[in-house]
């Protein structure tokens, strides 16, 4: 029987109650990993982890990634329960749409704390564990095509996504000497529970995407798993855009 890529490895996936994070967690489980599944919503975390447990060991750990203490706690939980930690996917994020001229301070600070602070302090906590235990771990941030191209009412969100991509580059200096690689993935239009609330989403993005369709969560998960696998050990500080070619031509949906 062929050995699975992530056997005997533990991965943390934040923001994994549904959508892209859920699919990444499922894909890791199918490849043999033990997964610590995080979502802000306690009930959703428990429900999703229970559903995914048919594919492997999936443990729920609900909490708010904008809290630096929580990011230490989830790393401690992973190590306490599984005796190891090998992969961290900082996927949790929030999108608060709003006109730049009317955007409120409380909304900006929330987006900054979750999208940048959550990624920063989870990577910091994981990095400390990897270094102290001489582990060549992998860290992956979820960015977005809005970190590359302007999008209406997403100035704050896009700014945070560009920031996590630059964070991945900066951490090359900090973490490469310890054999830790850090990358980012930037999904484009993707068919998730949230986006499909828009009845025109499928049609709109099929027309706008050069390849002829928006992505499915599995499309994003496949690239994410490559970037945290042994096959990508020599790739670090990079962002892979998974958007069906949209950022190459950038037609606006407005």
Task: List the one residue out of 92, 36, 25, 43 whose CA is nearest residue 64.
Answer: 92
Query: Do 58 and 233 form a contact (C-beta atoms < 8 A)?
Result: no
Active site residue 143: yes
Choice among 22, 143, 144, 201 that is catalytic? 143
Given the residues 22, 125, 161, 201, the one annotated as active site:
161
Separation of alpha carbons 10 and 36, rounded Å: 8
| Residue 161 designated active-site | yes
In the numeric block, which tokens belong to residue 165? 């991509």
22, 129, 157, 201: which one is catalytic?
157
The rounded distance, in Å, linking the Cα atoms of 92 and 171 is: 19
Query: Is 157 in the active site?
Result: yes
Cite the active site residues: 143, 157, 161
């Amino acid at each position: 029987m062929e050995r699975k890529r992530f056997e005997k490895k533990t991965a943390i996936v934040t923001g994994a109650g549904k959508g892209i994070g859920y699919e990444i967690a499922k894909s890791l489980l199918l490849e043999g990993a033990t997964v610590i599944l995080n979502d802000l919503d306690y009930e959703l975390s428990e429900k999703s982890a229970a559903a995914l447990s048919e594919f492997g060991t999936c443990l729920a750990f609900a909490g708010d990634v904008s809290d630096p203490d929580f990011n230490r706690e989830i790393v401690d939980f992973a190590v306490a329960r599984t005796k190891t930690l090998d992969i961290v996917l900082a996927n949790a994020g929030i999108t608060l749409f709003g006109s730049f001229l009317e955007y409120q301070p409380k909304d900006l600070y929330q987006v900054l704390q979750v999208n940048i602070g959550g990624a920063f302090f989870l990577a910091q906590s994981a990095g400390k564990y990897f270094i102290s235990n001489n582990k060549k771990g992998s860290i992956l941030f979820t960015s977005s095509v809005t970190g590359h191209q302007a999008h209406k009412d997403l100035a704050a969100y896009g700014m945070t996504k560009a920031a996590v991509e630059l964070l991945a580059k900066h951490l090359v200096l900090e973490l490469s000497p310890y054999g830790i690689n850090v990358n980012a993935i930037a999904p484009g239009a993707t068919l998730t529970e949230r986006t499909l609330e828009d009845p025109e989403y499928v049609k709109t993005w099929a027309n706008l995407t050069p390849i002829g369709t928006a992505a499915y969560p599995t499309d994003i998960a496949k690239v994410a798993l490559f970037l945290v696998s042994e096959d990508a050990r020599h790739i670090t500080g990079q962002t892979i855009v998974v958007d069906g070619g949209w950022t190459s031509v950038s037609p606006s949906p407005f």
